[in-house]
Amino acid sequence: MALMTGKEYVQSIRDMDIKIYMFGKRIEDPVTDDILRPSLNSVRMTYDLAQEPEYRSLMTAQSPFIGGTVNRFTHIHESTDDLIKKVKMQRLCGEKTGACFQRCVGMDAFNAVYSTTYEIDKKYGTSYQKNFLEFLKYSQEKDLTVDGAMTDPKGDRNLPPHKQKDPDMYLRVVERRPDGIVVRGAKAHQTGICNSHEVLVMPTIAMGPDDKDYAVAFAVPTDAENLFMIIGRQSCDTRKSEGAPIDTGNPTFGGVEALVIFDDVFVPNDRIFMNGETEFAGMLVERFAGYHRQSYGGCKVGVGDVLIGAAACAADCNGVCKASHIKDKLIEMIHLNETLYSSGIACSAEGTKTEAGNYIIDLLLANVCKQNVTRFPYEIARLAQDIAGGSVVTAPSEKDMEDPELGPYVKKYMAGAEGVSAEDRMKILRLIENLTLGTAAVGYLTESLHGAGSPQAQRIMIMRQGDLETKKSFAKNIAKIKGGKDGQE
Ligand code: SF4
Ligand code: FE
């Protein structure tokens, strides 16, 4: 069974014993919980779309490891064409959900761990890649959703892991046994963890020789003993449990993050992919972050398509779609969104082969892509609110609209241009609210800022990859200053 249906996926999560807490209580049935279910639906979309012939070439790939068709979210990129298809797939999933569909972190972790384990093994004669390949084949055969977990809580950001007052601020090995290791710590902001079958853990920063216990990569099931998660609150999250779907803005889809606690979790030897090789921690981080910065050139663009569409619908509802300043704002939104897509495609087209044989994006362009993502969605969101008007935040609730006494007033005064019902107008306004201020703003805005690394992390990489010396030599050559690269004087 290399491809699960969406229904089978939901059942497979239901069959697990994932320990999820929210509002101080354990969630007994995460699959039916009002707040969590939309997030599960978004991941389900990655399974449903793979079943549709129309999307097969984007959503699936051929695996050389198991010799059959796999969901692209479990694929190891074999070419620049694979990298480009990945971005297109993410745009498609964003358009279909208007939310974070979560499964990309696992795909990005697979590809980063694949090439890094190869290089560790080459240097130390270890067998991490063999371990990883078994895990990969298992994930492909069972069509699993895997959460890639990188971000540690980090405590005092000015201190390395081994100097933290509380040594658990970075996830670490606390015990080494003949059959495996025991790990303790936490991973923060974990997208999709509560909808994943497995979690693939990686270190979060480059490390020095004293951080040996912290340079650890491994995979465990999300219902492993002593592993549990606490769901993060999102703006307007309890609207999902009010029984008023219009007020949620996006009644079907969403995304949630969690703080994941590893309270002495056992990892068997065959699930360990790095264990103390500190000099490779930075390589793994850089590669994972690079892939995920590319990812944003797809997923945020897809969600941007939904927001631009919603703004255009709001203009129609208000009868202003022909106004030139509205058209100009929509043009600006499209321009910004397609600029994000351009860098997502560009870093993929310029990808190269790693020593291990899989393909990696152009790191400079991937970082430029993500740096743009830290800015443009905010401007697109501002323009969407501008077009939609103040009712995005002042419209009465769905329950007022349904009330026998108040409803007629709400319907009369919230109606838009001729032929536009108050109900349809409110649905579009709430969708814009959801994407720019509500639960989806987590994925579309704040995650655009901090996900895959905060803006400064990309700026450091842009400086490192930007090759300023070569640029200086170009200038010197033309200005006829000594020291130009081609030796001119
Ligand atoms: Fe995928 Fe985007 Fe969500 Fe990251 S933020 S998991 S790239 S949808
Ligand atoms: Fe993300």
**pLDDT tens over the chain, length 489 residues:** 689 999 999 999 999 999 999 999 999 999 999 999 999 999 999 999 999 999 999 999 999 999 999 999 999 999 999 999 999 999 999 999 999 999 999 999 999 999 999 999 999 999 999 999 999 999 999 999 999 999 999 999 999 999 999 999 999 999 999 999 999 999 999 999 999 999 999 999 999 999 999 999 999 999 999 999 999 999 999 999 999 999 999 999 999 999 999 999 999 999 999 999 999 999 999 999 999 999 999 999 999 999 999 999 999 999 999 999 999 999 999 999 999 999 999 999 999 999 999 999 999 999 999 999 999 999 999 999 999 999 999 999 999 999 999 999 999 999 999 999 999 999 999 999 999 999 999 999 999 999 999 999 999 999 999 999 999 999 999 999 987 666 554
Is residue 120 domain-shared with residue 259, that is, in the same domain? yes
Q: Which atom of ligand 1 is nearest to the CA of 191?
A: 6
Is residue 143 domain-shared with residue 230, that is, in the same domain? yes
Is residue 426 domain-shared with residue 397, that is, in the same domain? yes
Identify the domain containing residue 393 by its residue range.
Answer: 284-468
Q: Which atom of ligand 1 is nearest to the CA of 451?
A: 5
CA 257 – ligand 1 centroid, Å = 11
Q: Is residue 481 part of a domain?
A: no
Is residue 159 domain-shared with residue 131, that is, in the same domain? yes
Q: How many CB atoms lie within 10 A of CB 233?
A: 14
Q: Residue 286: CB within 6 Å of ligand 1?
A: no
Q: Is residue 473 part of a domain?
A: no
CATH code assigned at 77: 2.40.110.10
Element (H, E) at 400: helix 398-402
Do residues 374 and 451 lie in contact, with contact meaning Cβ atoms separated by under 8 Å? no
Q: Whose CA is nearest to atom 1 of ligand 1?
A: 104
Q: Is 338 a catalytic residue?
A: no
Please give the Cα distance from 404 to 183 (Å, whole number): 58
58, 293, 228, 258: CA torsion to nearest 10: -100
Amino acid at 141: E
Element (H, E) at 267: strand 257-268
Is residue 407 domain-shared with residue 362, that is, in the same domain? yes
Which tokens go with 213?
């216990």
Is residue 100 domain-shared with residue 27, that is, in the same domain? yes
Q: Residue 100: CB within 6 Å of ligand 1?
A: yes
Q: Which atom of ligand 1 is nearest to the CA of 94?
A: 8
The one catalytic residue among 119, 257, 277, 286: 257
How many structural domains compose the chain? 2
Q: Which region holds residue 242: left if phi is over 0, alpha if psi is between -120 and 50, else beta?
A: alpha
Helix axes of 281-318 and 324-349: crossing angle, nearest 10 degrees:
160
Is residue 385 domain-shared with residue 410, that is, in the same domain? yes
Please give the Cα distance from 60 to 302 (Å, whole number): 19
CA 163 – ligand 1 centroid, Å = 32
Is residue 289 domain-shared with residue 275, that is, in the same domain? no
Which residues on adjacent β-strands are paired with residue 68? Answer: 63
Amino acid at 116: T
